[in-house]
Amino acid sequence: MGDVDSIPEYVINSREEALGFINKYGIVTLFPIKGKTFPSLYSATKGNRQEKFDKAWGWADDSAMEKLIHYGKLVRKHVSLVSLELFPSLYRLCRRDDLSDLAEKTLNFLETHGSASTTVLRKSLGFWGKEEKSEFTKAVDELKLTFAIAIVGIKKAPRMTYTYDLIERWMPKSLFERAEKIDRAEAKAKVNAKRARARVFVTKVFQNTHVPNIGGVHSNIEHNSLT
| Residue numbers of the chain with a pLDDT score lower than 50 | 1-8, 206, 208-227
The span from the CA of 201 to the CA of 195, in Å, is 10
Question: The domain containing residue 73 runs over which residues?
Answer: 4-92+183-216
Residue 225 lies in a domain: no
- Are 80 and 24 within one domain? yes
Residue 223 lies in a domain: no
- Are 75 and 107 within one domain? no
190 φ, ψ (degrees, to nearest 5):
-65, -40
Query: What's the confidence (pLDDT) of residue 208?
Result: 46
DSSP assignment letter at 40: B
User: Please, what's the largest Cα pairwise distance for the chain?
Assistant: 52
- Are 71 and 138 within one domain? no
- Are 8 and 76 within one domain? yes
DSSP assignment letter at 224: G
- Are 45 and 154 within one domain? no
Query: What's the confidence (pLDDT) of residue 37?
Result: 77
- Are 136 and 27 within one domain? no
Q: What is the CATH number of the domain that holds 155?
A: 1.10.10.10
pLDDT digits (tens, 9 = 90+) for 12-49: 999 999 999 999 999 999 998 887 778 999 999 999 99
- Are 108 and 40 within one domain? no
- Are 32 and 58 within one domain? yes
- Are 54 and 87 within one domain? yes
Query: What's the confidence (pLDDT) of residue 5?
Result: 46
Q: Tell me the whole-structure pTM to 2 decimals.
A: 0.83
Query: What's the confidence (pLDDT) of residue 132?
Result: 85
Residue 173 lies in a domain: no
Residue 98 contacts residue 152 (beta carbons within 8 Å)? no
- Are 87 and 193 within one domain? yes
Query: What's the confidence (pLDDT) of residue 220?
Result: 29
Q: How many structural domains is the chain composed of?
A: 2
- Are 17 and 82 within one domain? yes
149 φ, ψ (degrees, to nearest 5):
-130, 160
Residue 175 lies in a domain: no
The span from the CA of 2 to the CA of 4, in Å, is 6
The span from the CA of 88 to the CA of 96, in Å, is 14
Query: What's the confidence (pLDDT) of residue 7?
Result: 42
> Strand pairing of 78-83 and 27-29?
antiparallel
Residue 102 lies in a domain: yes
Query: What's the confidence (pLDDT) of residue 59?
Result: 96
Residue 221 lies in a domain: no
